[in-house]
Structure 1
Amino acid sequence: MKKILIAEDIDARLDVYLAKELEIARNQIKKLFDSKKILVNNSNVKASYRLKEGDYLTILEGPEEINLEPINLNLEIIYEDNYIIVLNKPRGLLIHPSISNKSVSLVNHLIYHTKDLSNLGGEERPGIVHRLDQDTSGLIVIAKDNETHVNLVNQFKDRVVKKVYECICHKPFIEEKGKIDIPIERHQSYTKMAASPTGREALTYFKVLNQNENYAYLEVEIITGRTHQIRVHLSYINHPLVGDPLYGIKKDNEGQFLHAKELGLYHPKTNEFMTFKAKLPNYFINKLKELKI
């Protein structure tokens, strides 16, 4: 049995999501629905059901679970108490493994570091409340128990979590700051997202920190939390992230220069608003020097 708490608005049909998540064929997914092995919030639903943030999936039968090994990755812990851990994730590290990608992930370090982790995200995602893309570095919060997990998921859902990034993108801006208010939906390929008037609300604010005739160094705050939101929005306004292999320039594929530098949230036990910050990694600083921004 596999259980998954949907901690972000992924805007996808349930059957499409499961085919990718479980990495099995769509006809096998159909069999699971026909035999009523898929539950959403403890109820049977149609395969066409569109997932919402906060939905709780139960898969009564599916592929074999992934065996996770505790590994010390010497990750920087910004803050830890009995309820949460705030980590600075390095670029290139997966958040959690999948059937097709069993690379070492943040989860390997978490289960090495502590046994106190929530299990609402499923056995392969202990403690995981939200995600950063593999090539995005920076702050991520981990839940140590299920009550904390639900509290944090609701904070993300209610948009009270402050999420500030720094990034490097192509082309200079005319304006010093701006707002990108363009809906986002999942692309028909499922592997990427796309700006679309029929999508879900997505709101991004940006401020130019420095720029030259070819590149811009930005501070970006996202109000919503759509998948790949910053990458999609900046690409849509013709300022794709430097190094982005999915939304950027084709030959520019070393991995996006995107760093989650600030995370603000209400402590799940004390209700105190806490702000955490992570310094720019060296690879990012070196790129700024290389591009002379």
Structure 2
Amino acid sequence: MYIDVLLDHPDFVIINKPANIAVQNENDRLGILPSICQQLQVSKLWLVHRLDKVTSGILILAKHAQAAAIFGQLFENKQVEKYYLAIASKKPKKKQGSIKGGMHKVRDGKWILNSNNQNLAITQFFSYGVLANIRLFLVKPLTGKTHQIRVALKSLASPILGDELYKGETSDRTYLHAYAVKFCYQQQEILVTCKPNFGEHFISIEMSDFLNKLASPTALPWPKVK
């Protein structure tokens, strides 16, 4: 398995994580972290944030402990902007805006949103009708909770296509992709984007054309954070 390297910095590497492969080793399969270590011929890389197994796209890995500590501060201070693409087959309750609520764990590994502010999750989004029964979401999570985007879209009555855990329709993959990241690392501004390359709906001609015309995610009129 070859992993696409999007940016190779002296202190960190940004890769395009394939869908359906866990970050760490599983019983019967090598994880992304040991795989990229082998590929880059390094003994260790530091995981500074996470992606679900089903999610593809941008993943940042530090090359040494000092860089990992810097990223820890950046994430803690909410100085890393992350943008995701998702596809749903059902129209949402609203076409754009924010989703806010407390994340509460229930059975079978699922999470739900409730009205209190414990374990608060805040998610902003725009959505676009690209094809009949295919709606594209551009999502900006302002917090980093487990399953946050998957739960947010489920709360809009638009579960992610292929995300059967949250009642999404069966498909060839779970249509969630880490699309772009922006941050300032030691006074250097970093902006990386990565289009999805797997999933029949992600790589369709219509979707590719739409993404080519879509403005940079950082340039969209996202609501001001209070």
- TM-score, normalising length from structure 2? 0.81
Aligned to 1:276: 192
Residues in 1 aligned to 2:99 and 2:179: alpha-carbon distance in whole angstroms: 20
Aligned twin of 2:17: 89
* 2:8 is aligned with 1:80: yes
Indicate the residue corresponding to 1:109 in structure 2. 35
Unpaired runs of at least 5, structure 1: 1-72, 118-125
Asked if structure 2 preserves the Cα contact closer than 8 Å seen for 1:259 and 1:280, the reply is yes
Contact 2:104 2:113 in 1 (8 A): yes
Q: Aligned letter for 1:233?
A: A
The answer to whether the 8 Å contact 1:172/1:211 transfers is no
Match of 2:176 in 1: 258
Partner of 1:10: none
Higher relative contact order (CA 8 A, sep 6+): 2
1:167 corresponds to 2:86: yes
The 1:174/1:128 distance shift into structure 2, 3 A limit, reads closer
Given candidates 123, 142, 145, the residue that maps to 1:223 is 142
Q: Deviations over 1:87-136 (max 9, x none)?
A: 011112211125xx34111122222113263xxxxxxxx42111111111
Structure 2 residue runs without a partner (length 5+): 211-226
Task: Report if aligned partners of 2:3, 2:36 keep a CA contact under 8 Å in 1.
Answer: no
Kindly report the root-mean-square deviation, in angstroms, between the aligned alpha carbons of the 2 structures: 2.3
Residue 220 of structure 1 and its aligned partner are, at CA, apart by: 0.7
- Given the superposition, is the C-alpha separation of residues 174 and 192 from structure 1 closer, same or farther in structure 2, using an over 3 Å criterion? closer
Q: 2:30 and 2:55 mapped to 1: Cα distance?
A: 16
Alignment of 1:1-293 (within 5 A): 73-98=1-26, 101-112=27-38, 113-115=40-42, 117=44, 126-173=45-92, 175-187=94-106, 189=107, 191-198=109-116, 199-212=118-131, 214-249=133-168, 252=170, 254-267=172-185, 270-283=186-199, 284-286=201-203
Taking the aligned partners of 1:213 and 1:183, their CA distance within structure 2 comes to: 33
- Quick one: structure 1 residues 102 and 265, their matched pair in 2 at CA, closer, same or farther if it must change by over 3 Å? farther
**Matched-pair contact (CA < 8 Å) for 1:172–1:212:** no
Bigger Rg, which one: 1
The verdict on how the C-alpha distance between 1:174 and 1:182 changes in structure 2, with shifts beyond 3 A counting, is closer
Quote the Cα distance in structure 1 between the aligned partners of 2:94 and 2:112: 24
> Equivalent residue of 1:202, what SS?
strand
The residue identity in structure 2 corresponding to 1:104 is L
Is this contact kept in 1: 2:141–2:149, CA < 8 A? yes
TM-aligned CA deviation for residue 231 of structure 1? 0.2
82-91 or 252-261: which moved more? 252-261
8 Å CA contact retained: 1:83, 1:145:
yes
Where does residue 123 of structure 1 map in the other structure?
none
> If each structure's strand is expressed as a fraction of its own residues, which one has the higher value?
2
Q: Between Structure 1 and Structure 2, how many residues are aligned?
A: 205
TM score, norm. by length of structure 1 = 0.64
Query: Are residues 288 and 214 of structure 1, via their aligned partners in 2, closer, same or farther at CA, if it must alter by over 3 Å?
Result: farther
Distance 2:30 2:2 in 1: 13
User: For the residues of structure 1 that align with 2:183 and 2:14, how far apart are their CA atoms?
Assistant: 11
Shift of 1:288: 7.8
Judging changes above 3 Å, is the alpha-carbon distance between structure 1 residues 190 and 248 closer, same or farther for their aligned structure 2 residues?
A: closer
Paired with 1:191 and 1:285, the residues of 2 have a C-alpha distance of: 27
Q: Is the 8 A contact 2:196 2:203 kept in 1?
A: no
Return the alpha-carbon distance in structure 1 between the equivalents of residues 60 and 162 of structure 2. 25
